[in-house]
């Protein structure tokens, strides 16, 4: 069984039952909605207790439940550059603003990256008389580039100066 | 003169003078830092008054100042998929989470997109004992897909049901 | 079930019944033909009432009807650059004239874009003794780039000067 | 001399003189603005009389004037898929709606294409209280696919049934 | 049903019956061999009378016959750049000679293209003692680029000077 | 010196002198126009006597003349897929009709290719009241695939059955 | 039936029977091993007598046997650039040494190519105390570029000087 | 000034002086060789004190020294997939073994990644009678995927179960 | 049967039985875990005795067992550049550090490569109070580029100077 | 200085002096012609004594001579897939025959590759009344895939069964 086939099955059940994502997320619980929806869509792993709840909700077999508890091959089945307009707009933001973000983060934090792994994100609706807005708040741990020393694989794992 | 050559010249002066981005943004003022840095890097336009301040700071010619006031061919000179690790992490976030964001936004707002044009963004440092975090707050206007009617190019520009 | 499989089924029924697009659009009604045909081809969403009419026409199951009411992953299953000569000619128009359109729109409207979301379009046959012509009239809302201020995520969502 | 270098020179003069596209098009005259701007940007040819006017306006050499009168290698120097948001939106329209346009044109006109060569286009500003709109009216000659006969290279160049 | 599946079925029948292309083309008749073979391979449309003859020959259902009478999504299922040596050689001819053809056609005809739609082609065997040759004679209508005037969408659809 | 720089120089002189391709081809003589123009554009080699005539016409140095007599790195500097509409139409013909050509040539000649090396081509203007046509006659030697035997590198270099 | 499906069936039988390639090639006979294996893998055609022997060995139907006697769409189903290390090394040899081979062949033979169609190849094991070597001997007919004359499609099909 | 131009200048001086990498790394000191060489080649940043030593060694201007202290746009100027055989072999290792590494790391550590930022690496020569070997020892911090909770942007930044 | 289908079957059984990779590797034994897991995932070959053990564990047919003993088409079914974050980080290491590795290896060993074929690798967990680390030790045989002499295919197979 | 600029300079001198490759190779001596020409074209390294001879012949500076003695970034500046017909034919041979070569080499030698590093090659002219042939004899060391054991980085570096 491929993860994409499991996704297809889960979505068909969602259609058949008329469930909303909100209902699914509340029933499975535990994690943020982005993570639970991501797992249903085949990009995230559900922990064992949550996979069990999902199995109950969707009536899954043992193999299917185990698959939901596996880390999927992330990024599979996704078109890049995105073609769907909603997703493309995020891609465009990264493309156009990436260099400026890099300049500002490096000036503030030094050489390193914002982690996409130790990363948190909340999406909210922001009412606005000119048209409601999508508000996204995210934070990722800054990971400084390690400047390891000439002596090699030492206990310190590098040091950092400016 | 190409915009990339102007960018190169501005960055060389920044290096020579030892200016920080913070200093440049404060001197030019007006817009958010992301926008001003983006303009220096050739991805954004500075309005006339700000372009004038930039011209004063960097000692620019009339042609160069006019160029800063032009909308550039955005996205030019940028490698996609990004190769720089800092920018790539944002790209990865879009790639992995894009489908989940789409599902959640569409359930909340209906058919449409979060605008990448009517869009605001703030970047902050979030102190944290386990390692400081990059906090990004952004909001974009939700633009509903117009479902224009069968009568065509009418005054209403479409209507919207669910 | 994949959206592409639903499309395939709908097209087979169209072939079997000998229906024209005009007939299908009139029966489903409500929206412009471009939107209804787009939904049948898997690129657009039908609102609930229209999806119900389509379900009646094509004899669809609940899952299939729900799928027609979903926003599809737009752009999926489409070859880009287009290879079909009819579609390629439109692509060529954008490729060759894009920079001139950008220059003229920005001079007239300022920094921004023509929305592809708040967008309307009518296609007509223009009789002509030298050979009939395809006439396309379209209008999209101009969306000005927001130049948000240095104070960040403020209530105004930016301001705009030239 | 490369056409791109001529374009660069013409744009620098436009910046230096503070000319608008409107002014340039009125001075050169003759063709629509899309064509004249396209020629300045290196994608179109100016006829001899118009190239002469352009030469006078920009102070061009004989070689440069001759180059403006040449059909350029169209599409050169253009990023595809477009990255600039303004141009990308047109690309997105073709990508998402292409199959529906194909279905509707072929049902109305039969097998063939809308010419991108025998093609006319006007861009207008459409005032609207909810935000002005970009209105584009275009018409292209419909060219039916020739279904030439089994006898080959005959005088008729094919015939056409449905 | 996908067009590719219909193609597969037709080719299997050709193999089973041991038919040659010549036999198929003579039985279906009407058009040139390139067009009939192209339709069997899923790249061309057969007119209704010819589709009927093909249906009789291959024993097709109503849906399959209707599909043969549809304009297919041309170019689908074709590898580009071509990998098959026979097809690649034609691609190579276009790649290497394209710029020279452009220069010569534009000098002779002015700004425009040779139509790939109003286009005729005959392939013949040319006996030669050093090895027989493939002789291809083709002619396409020259389509001049329309230089429409500044007054826009006028009745004349442009004019043309040199 | 790069071949592209030589091409640029030759084209500048053509512009300055106002020479036509016809004049250049007649002056250099010897080969067909496609070959001579191809050599000026950097895709073909001129034999020594013709390179000498070109040198005289364009006033070339010894290094430049030697370069014209070299086989260039063919295909360099050419955009593929072609973007220029005139060249793209030829590409489209190969893409759409390639499989049919393959089927017909192989049925007539057996397994093999039409040579793109031992290849001849003439382009003519075909007057036509409905619009003049571009007529192209080409012939390439058919090269049968060698089915060499199990004994390997033998004197016969293979044999051929059906 | 697709050629890839036939390949899959033939390989499954090879696995089931435990046949070696050597056994298969000897049983089918006639051609070199490279050609016979290539045909089983879907890249080459078997002549009628050899296809008959293959049919006997593998127990093929008439349709399958006819398919083995067809020229396949060569290059289909092959990943390029190659990812398999064994095949990649050959690709690397062409990539790194291609320009040198071109220079040496053209100096020795003049303008032209080594045919990949009239081409023979033998692979041998070369015992060597430091590790056995793969020895490949190949020869392809040199095909000179035809420099056809200005008079066009003449009986001579060009001439050739240096 | 572009970073690539600085790299070119540094390499020319290395050639002129006949310096080895070992000598350069010892003179600049501080970091591991991989990092210092990476900085000279434009992929890493030298801290201020090391950039000063490099400036002394190579005789750099203030702008050049500042550039060496900047985080470069990493990955720029690098061909991917790699073409150089030495680098390609590493790429091949990732391509072929990536899925197995993923399976084993996830089973041992859970959902997460090995950091490429908090990462250390030593390269050594391993003498071996059958031919010396390149020994590479590397260690990267394991970063667990954060499974943030449904309450959103909380102080804990997620929790982790299996 | 395709290798990907066998992989799918093996993974489903692993899920059903709840086996760990460690258990599978210990049961099959013989090789390193990277190799055995790679074979299950379709990128490596199991020797006959190990394939037999795998067949016993998974209950495989003769065809399936033979397939596990075949060298697969390596690299098939793998997305490049990798999208999964865990695998991408390795790719990033090669991309960013490749040129430095090349410089250092060539200075130490001369012209050549580190073999990806005669290659060994061990992965370990390195406990660390700041977060455990993934430790990878690998060694590959250095293969010097052969500088074969002018006399050609001689017994020495080249010599090597600096 | 870039290697490509050195190549350009060397080729210009070759043109100016009218040297053949044969003359250059004989003067520099030592290696096979493929290697020497490859070094001149920027894909190979000349050992110190040969670089010295090349320096004398071409009158090179110390920096240029040092560059000829460096291992270049191989594969740089080469178009892939090749466009030049002569080089493309070799690429086509690998593409079409690669899978068959893989099958035959693996059956004869087991799991492994033919080295592209420990590799020798001779090119000869083979006179033939039907047209001379290019004969290429090459041999590469077979490198067996190492099947290292479960105990890891041991002294044996793996073992090999079938």
pLDDT of residue A27: 97
Q: Is the pLDDT of residue J150 over 80?
A: no
> Is residue A25 located within the same domain as residue A51?
yes
Average pLDDT rounded to a whole number, residues I66-85: 97
Which residue among the candidates C106, C115, C139, C160 is catalytic per the annotation?
C115
> Is residue E49 located within the same domain as residue E13?
yes
CA distance H95 to H135: 20
In a domain? residue H32: yes
Catalytic residue list contains I115: yes
pLDDT of residue G31: 82
Residue ranges making up the domain that contains A35? 3-68
Catalytic residue list contains B133: no
pLDDT of residue H78: 95
Give H144's strand partners.
H112
> Is residue E62 located within the same domain as residue E109?
no
> Is residue H100 located within the same domain as residue H132?
yes
Q: Any residues with CB less than 8 A from the CB of C13 and at least 6 apart, and which? A: C19, C58, C59
Number of domains forming the structure of chain B = 2
pLDDT of residue D157: 38
Q: Is the pLDDT of residue I158 over 50?
A: no
CATH number at residue J18: 1.10.260.40
In a domain? residue B157: no
Average pLDDT rounded to a whole number, residues G18-42: 95
In a domain? residue C114: yes
pLDDT of residue F162: 57
Nearest CA to D93 among B123, A85, A106, G31? A85
CB contact under 8 A, B1 and D18: no
CB A29 within 8 A of CB A50: yes
Share of chain C above pLDDT 70, in %: 91
List the catalytic residues of F: 89, 92, 115
Give contacts of A15 with chain B, Cβ < 8 Å.
none
Give contacts of F116 with chain J, Cβ < 8 Å.
85
Quickly list DSSP for A29-47.
-SB-HHHHHHHHTTSSPPP
How far D151 CA lies from chain B's nearest CA (Å)? 45
pLDDT of residue F30: 82
> Is residue E99 located within the same domain as residue E53?
no
Average pLDDT rounded to a whole number, residues C42-61: 97
Tens of pLDDT, residues D50-106: 999 999 999 999 999 999 999 999 999 999 999 999 999 999 999 999 999 999 999
In a domain? residue I35: yes
Residue A24, exposed/middle/buried by CB under 10 A (0-12, 13-18, 19+)? buried
> Is residue F7 located within the same domain as residue F51?
yes
> Is residue B95 located within the same domain as residue B64?
no
Least confident of C86-100, I137-151, J120-134: I137-151
Q: Please report where in the chains the tokens 């126009």 appear, as a residue.
A: F33
In a domain? residue I80: no
Q: Any residues with CB less than 8 A from the CB of F161 and at least 6 apart, and which? A: F147, G47, G48, G49
Tens of pLDDT, residues A47-65: 999 999 999 999 999 999 9
Tens of pLDDT, residues D7-23: 999 999 999 999 999 99
Share of chain H above pLDDT 90, in %: 85
Residue E37, SS3? helix
Q: Is the pLDDT of residue J158 over 50?
A: no
pLDDT of residue D156: 38
Q: Is the pLDDT of residue B155 over 80?
A: no
A98: its two tokens: 């990436």
Nearest CA to I109 among I39, I44, I160? I160
> Is residue J62 located within the same domain as residue J92?
no
pTM of the model: 0.95
Average pLDDT rounded to a whole number, residues J67-83: 97
Tens of pLDDT, residues H104-134: 999 999 999 999 999 998 999 999 999 999 9
CB contact under 8 A, D38 and C108: no
**Residues of chain J that touch chain I, judged by Cβ-Cβ distance less than 8 Å:** 25, 29-33, 35, 45, 47-49, 71, 73, 99, 102, 106, 111-113, 115, 117-122, 137, 139, 141, 143-150, 152-153, 157-158, 161-162
Q: How many Cα atoms occupy the beta-carbon half-sphere of E65 within 13 Å?
A: 19
CATH number at residue H133: 3.30.1160.10
In a domain? residue C155: no
Nearest CA to E98 among F10, F102, F85? F85
List the catalytic residues of A: 89, 92, 115
Burial F108-133 (b: 16+ CB within 10 A, else e): bbbbbbbbbbbbbbbbeeeeeeeebb
CB B137 within 8 A of CB B146: no
Nearest CA to A79 among J144, D41, H80, C78? C78
In a domain? residue C151: no
**Residues of chain H that touch chain B, judged by Cβ-Cβ distance less than 8 Å:** 1-2, 62-63, 66-67, 70-71, 73-76, 78, 80, 116-117, 157
pLDDT tens, N- to C-terminus, chain F (162 residues): 999 999 999 999 999 999 999 999 999 998 889 999 999 999 999 999 999 999 999 999 999 999 999 999 999 999 999 999 999 999 999 999 999 999 999 999 999 999 999 999 899 999 999 999 999 999 999 999 988 765 544 433 344 445
How far G83 CA lies from chain F's nearest CA (Å)? 24
Quickly list DSSP for J7-34.
HHHHHHHHHHHT--HHHHHHHH-SB-HH
> Is residue F62 located within the same domain as residue F89?
no
Q: Cα–chain-centroid distance for residue H117?
A: 8
Q: Is the pLDDT of residue I30 over 90?
A: no
Measured between alpha carbons, how far is residue G158 from residues B85, E129, F134, H103, J129 in Å? 57, 15, 23, 63, 20
CA-nearest residue of chain F to J8?
Answer: F1
Give contacts of G121 with chain F, Cβ < 8 Å.
148
The rounded mean pLDDT for chain E is: 91
- Domain end position, chosen among H16, H42, H68: H68
Catalytic residue list contains J89: yes
A127 or B149, higher pLDDT: A127
B117: its two tokens: 């044009």
pLDDT of residue E150: 57
Residue I105, SS3? helix
J148: its two tokens: 């290292």
> Is residue D46 located within the same domain as residue D92?
no
List the catalytic residues of E: 89, 92, 115
pLDDT of residue E79: 96
| Number of Cβ within a 10 Å radius of residue B111 | 23
Least confident of A2-6, A136-140, B39-43: A136-140
CB H76 within 8 A of CB H83: no
**Residues of chain E that touch chain J, judged by Cβ-Cβ distance less than 8 Å:** 81, 83, 85, 88, 92, 95-96
> Is residue H100 located within the same domain as residue H60?
no
Against chain B, the chains showing at least 3 CB pairs within 8 Å are A, C, D, H, I
Tens of pLDDT, residues D129-151: 999 999 999 999 999 998 876 55
CA distance F111 to F160: 9
Least confident of A149-158, C24-33, F81-90: A149-158
Q: What is the ipTM of this complex?
A: 0.92
CA distance I64 to C108: 68
In a domain? residue C162: no
CB contact under 8 A, F66 and J133: no
- Given CA atoms J27, J33, J35, J41 in this order, what sign does their dihedral have? positive
Tens of pLDDT, residues A62-87: 999 999 999 999 999 999 999 999 99
B116 vs D15, D16, D85: nearest CB: D85
CA distance A112 to A106: 7
D20: its two tokens: 């608008």
I84 vs A63, A73, A80: nearest CB: A73
> Is residue E64 located within the same domain as residue E90?
no
Q: How many Cα atoms occupy the beta-carbon half-sphere of C136 within 13 Å?
A: 27
């Amino acid at each position: 069984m491929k993860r994409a086939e499991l996704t297809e099955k889960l979505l068909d059940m969602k259609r058949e039952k008329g469930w909303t994502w909100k209902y699914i997320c509340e029933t499975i619980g535990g994690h943020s909605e982005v993570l639970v929806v991501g797992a249903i869509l085949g990009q995230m792993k559900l922990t064992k207790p949550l996979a069990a709840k999902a199995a109950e909700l969707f009536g899954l077999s043992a193999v299917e439940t185990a698959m939901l508890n596996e880390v999927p091959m992330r990024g599979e089945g996704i078109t890049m550059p995105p073609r769907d307009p909603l997703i493309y707009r995020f891609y465009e933001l990264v493309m156009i603003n990436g260099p400026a973000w890099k300049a500002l983060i490096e000036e503030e934090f030094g050489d390193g990256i914002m982690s996409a792994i130790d990363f948190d994100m909340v999406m909210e609706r922001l009412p606005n008389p000119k048209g409601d807005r999508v508000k996204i708040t995210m934070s990722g741990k800054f990971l400084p580039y390690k400047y390891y020393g000439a002596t090699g694989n030492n206990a310190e794992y590098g040091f950092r100066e400016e």
